[in-house]
Chains A and B, each alone.
Chain A
Amino acid sequence: MSTVNLGLPRFPSGGPPRGFGNISATEPFPKAAHRELGNAQLRANLGHATHTIRDKRLRVVSELPDWEALREAGSAIKTEAMTRLPELLTQFEEQFTARGGTVHWARDAAEANRIVEELIRATGETEVVKVKSMATQEIGLNEYLDERGIAAFETDLAELIVQLGHDKPSHILVPAIHKNRTEIRDIFLEEMPDVDPELTDEPRRLAMAARAHLRKKFLSAKVAISGANFGIAETGTLGVVESEGNGRMCLTLPETLITVMGIEKVLPRAQDLEVFMQLLPRSSTGERMNPYTSLWTGATPGDGPQNVHVVLLDNGRTRALADQHGRSALHCIRCSACMNVCPVYERTGGHAYGSTYPGPIGAILSPLLTGVEAEENSSLPYASSLCGACFDACPVKINIPEILVYLRGEDVSGGTTGRRRRSLPSQMDLALGAASWALSSGDRLGLLEKGLPVARALAGRDEKISRLPGLGAGWTQSRDVPAPPSESFRNWWRKREKEAEKGTHE
């Protein structure tokens, strides 16, 4: 097999460095899911919200006769960008620098946080405004700055709610999807200085309160921090896609603008936006066109921020890129369509995944960035029934179920080391080991099936089994097992063939 030379520096041992930050689950998914499932309010909110967005997405997607062709194009452009990544990043740096911006390279979350802090320090400011950004959530920038006396104010309405509530986002696009109106009003009353104490939970009044609160921040802030949906290599242009106008304020009013962008967000050409600006709004918010699309290229004298920086973040992306079976997870454009159609996410919400990236994409992206063996991330690839709804919804055709299965294999076989991680075999190891022996021969399976009448007798008069020990207890928690038949098909067939043979001889 020929290998593609990615032009990446060689790493002494263990491959490219791992990603760190808010991308590692700290408890096993089933345990976190159990807790979240118990929250009836959360399930009601999530069920309502995901179904609404799901239906809206389906409507606007079915309007486009060339939707499948667009998905193909999106996938092809992303594949090209990943194949040419080193070259495109260098080109992006040249163009961005030539137009008056400064490029910084960050190997991981710690390095990125440090760079951003130093850039803010250089301005002498202690307050910054922020545009909603997954990359800065991933590296834990707000917490990092807060510990060092710098206040970062989120300006996206839902991010603001989450931040004021001292909470964590639970959805990429709708970070406060787990909160309802009453909860939001209570947070505002508690945390917003100067808020009208008569505030009701009417959406319009809540929005007006947030608007008044944020307006002051926009007008006084000297520094803004953003993420980026796209970076165009050909021109050094950065792009942010949002729907509240808060991003436009942050990107144009302050003197200093610092953008943190994952290296996989680079696109070869400005023309490629034609494809993604059709795919993204329809897949994420179910809108035909995005309300506020901001593109900026370097610094323009007398217009907008004069001090423009971009921090190009690796944090495990090179590691994911080096994985030939998993690398297409980097094609993700953070639309969240996979979350909205996922039956698991719909019931557990985003917090159960323990990472900035929840849902199906998070279940593959988090372990790919950190390594499947990192903390509890090994439980994430199992957080799926492999129903495939995510693959169908993905605008760039990431085969999430296939990568989930691949990562399960990595978990079981110990990844690149080839050594199984557990010193003692688990119940599942033993059960599937025995099943492998029994199911790899028709004779062996046939022999075991001789025991069916005994199993049938054990099921008793009810003809069902309601309680099983060990692993089976997981099954009988909510389902009965029917009594086995008195005879296997194999046996019945053998007898039937014999009878037929007799018939022809007589």
Chain B
Amino acid sequence: MKIALFATCIVDAMYPRVAQATVQILERLGHKVVFPAGQACCGQMHLNSGYFREALPVVENHVRAFEAGFDSGDYDVAVAPSGSCVASVKHQHAMVARWALERGEKRADPTLEARAEAVGERTYELSQLLTDVLGVTDAAAQLGSYLPGTITYHPSCHGMRLLRLGDRPLSLLRTVEALDVVALPEADQCCGFGGTFSIKNADVSSAMLADKVANICGTGAGACAGGDVSCLMHIGGGLSREGRTTTAGTPVRTVHLAEVLASTHENPLRFDGELALAGGAR
């Protein structure tokens, strides 16, 4: 299968290793990965902050960047290592196109809604694609996933409630060789990120984060895995600020599902010191 990677802006600029891990997994399964060069961002930050007018060109760019390859057969599906960005592509892009028409915005494009829906329908979150489309049921056997250590998992809100990912990510994690997955208490509670919420309502956001950090550290896991880099940056930022360490004295980290699945015997993720796959962009 030919698969377009939507890296998302935050992964592209801040966490390239997550996109690299995604590419590795898909190529290991024998698929061809394409990176549409025009892509930038899904516009979720603007949309969720109420800046619809500013979101419009971002959404237009995303639709333009991805639709051509679908039409020409360069790829069959698109995938992003982020539940919230995929939820935005699937649920918000058509909405903002309608908003622009209703408001008579200068940039309003009557074709955008249908085009956005067409792109949204063929866009998948990573665990969704692996489970529903590519038939991965055993990460160790099919992907060679291997990671000695203990982790816990935070299901980010948009993946859980907007995409209904259910136990897809956890099922994948549980089939990683040598990995001990421990349950996170109050896992379904938001970490407090919420995009610009973390700045506009910094006090409430910080209070939510403090509880999430405490719950993660209470599990004794060396890292918290997740499917949304923005939430992981938030949680990781809190862990780092509080200087949280495991009983072994190593810092408690956050790690993306893709990085865990990409970890192998030959090139394992390391929890001590820099948490990264060797040979990444760093």
Binding site for B on A (CB under 8 A): 29-30, 33-34, 37, 343-344, 347-348, 381-389, 391-392, 405, 407-413, 418, 428, 432-433, 435-436, 438-445, 448-449, 452, 464, 466, 471-472, 474-475, 477-482, 484-493
Is chain A's interface secondary structure helix, strand, loop, or mixed overall?
A: helix
Complex interface: chain A residues within 8 A of B234 (CB): 479
B134 contacts A by Cβ under 8 Å: no
Tell which of A413, A449, A472, A481 touches B12, judged by Cβ atoms closer than 8 Å.
Answer: A449
CB closest chain-A residue, reference B240: A480
A444 surroundings in chain B (CB, below 8 A):
40
Chain A nearest CB from B90 CB (Å) reads 13
| Consensus secondary structure, chain B interface | helix
Q: A37-B207, A474-B202 are in contact. Are A489 and B50 (CB under 8 A)?
A: no
Decide if B39 touches A442 in the complex (CB within 8 Å). Answer: yes
In the complex with contacts A405-B50, A466-B241, A479-B241, A428-B198 CB distance below 8 A: no
- Chain B positions within 8 Å of A, measured between CB atoms, are 7, 9, 11-17, 19-20, 35-41, 43, 45-55, 57-58, 60-61, 65, 99, 103, 157-158, 161-162, 188-190, 192-210, 233-234, 236-238, 240-241, 281-282
Q: CA separation between A33 and B53, bound complex, in Å?
A: 29
What's the least CB distance linking B104 to chain A, in Å?
Answer: 9
In the bound complex, how far is the Cα of B57 from the Cα of A441, in angstroms?
Answer: 9
- Other-chain residue from A37, A391, A405, A486 in contact with B282 (beta carbon distance below 8 A): A486
Taking CB atoms, residues of chain A closer than 8 Å to B38 are 441-443
Given contacts A385-B192, A440-B61, A449-B12, contact A408 B49 (CB under 8 A): yes
B204 lies within 8 A of A442 (CB): no
A412 to B197 alpha-carbon distance, docked (Å): 15
Cβ-neighbour of A485 out of B15, B53, B209 (below 8 A): B15
If A435-B54, A436-B57, A485-B14 are given as contacts, then 11 extra A-B residue pairs at C-beta distance below 8 Å, sorted by A number, are A382-B197, A387-B161, A408-B48, A412-B49, A418-B103, A436-B46, A440-B58, A477-B202, A482-B14, A484-B13, A490-B12
Selected contact of A382 from candidates B7, B51, B99, B201, CB within 8 Å: B201
Q: Which of B158, B161, B195, B203 has the most CB of A within 10 A?
A: B203
Contact of A464 with B48 at beta-carbon distance under 8 Å, contacts A384-B197, A485-B281 already known = no
Q: What would be 16 A-B contacts, judged by CB atoms less than 8 Å apart?
A: A29-B201, A30-B200, A30-B204, A348-B204, A388-B161, A409-B51, A436-B54, A439-B40, A442-B36, A449-B12, A477-B206, A478-B206, A479-B206, A480-B241, A481-B237, A487-B16
Known contacts A29-B201, A30-B203, A489-B11; A478/B58 CB under 8 A:
no
Could you say which residues of chain A place their CB within 8 Å of the CB of B241? 466, 478-480
Chain B contacts of A464 at CB under 8 A?
240
Q: Is the CB of A343 within 8 A of B281?
A: no
Query: What residues of B have a CB within 8 angstroms of the CB of A448 in the complex?
Result: 13
How far is the CB of A37 from the nearest CB of chain B, in Å?
5
Knowing A30-B201, A389-B161, A489-B20, the reply to whether A449 touches B240 (Cβ < 8 A) is: no
- Contact between chains at B45 and A432 (CB < 8 Å): yes
- Report yes or no: A489 in contact with B19, Cβ–Cβ below 8 A: yes
Residue of B nearest to A420 (CB): B53
**Would B50 and A408 count as touching, CB distance under 8 A?**
yes
CA distance A410 to B65 in the complex (A): 29
Asked whether A391 lies within 8 Å of B201 as measured between CB atoms, the reply is no
Our pick among B37, B189, B200 for the contact of A343 (Cβ within 8 Å) is B189
Pairwise interchain contact B190-A385, C-beta atoms closer than 8 A? yes
**Contact A388 B65, beta carbon cutoff 8 Å:** no
Chain B minimum-CB-distance residue to A383: B201
CB B53 to nearest CB in A, in angstroms, measures 7
Measured in the bound complex, the distance between the Cα atoms of B15 and A37 in whole Å is: 33
Q: Are B204 and A475 in contact (CB under 8 A)?
A: no
Tell me which residues across on chain B come within 8 A of A410, comparing CB atoms.
Answer: 50
Say whether B40 contacts A489, CB under 8 Å: no
Cα distance, A29 to B197, chains bound together (Å)? 12
Q: CB-nearest residue of chain A relative to B36?
A: A442
Q: Is the CB of B51 within 8 A of A436?
A: yes
Given the complex of chains A and B, what is the CA–CA distance between A453 and B236 in angstroms?
Answer: 21
Q: Give the residue name and chain of the B residue nearest to A480 (CB).
A: B240
B237 touches A482 (CB 8 A): yes
B157 near A405: Cβ-Cβ < 8 Å:
no
Assembly CA distance A440 to B62 (angstroms)? 8
Q: Which residues of B contact A439 (CB under 8 A)?
A: 9, 40-41, 43, 58, 61
Q: Which residues from B are CB-within-8-Å of A37? A: 203-204, 207
* A393, chain B: closest CB distance, angstroms: 11
CB <8 Å contact, B202 and A384: no
Which of chain B's residues have a CB closer than 8 A to the CB of A391? 161
Q: How far, in whole Å, are A347 and B189 apart by their CA atoms in the complex?
A: 12
A191 CB to closest chain B CB (Å) equals 33
A451 → B minimal CB distance (Å): 10
B49 touches A388 (CB 8 A): no
A344: chain B residues at CB < 8 Å are: 201, 204, 208
How far apart are the CA atoms of A89 and B221 in the complex, in Å? 59
A30 to chain B: which residues have CB within 8 Å? Answer: 200-204
The listed residue with most A CB atoms (<10 A of its CB), out of B9, B198, B204, is: B204
Query: Distance in Å from the Cβ of B147 to the closest Cβ of chain A?
Result: 21
Beta-carbon contact of B12 and A440 below 8 Å: no
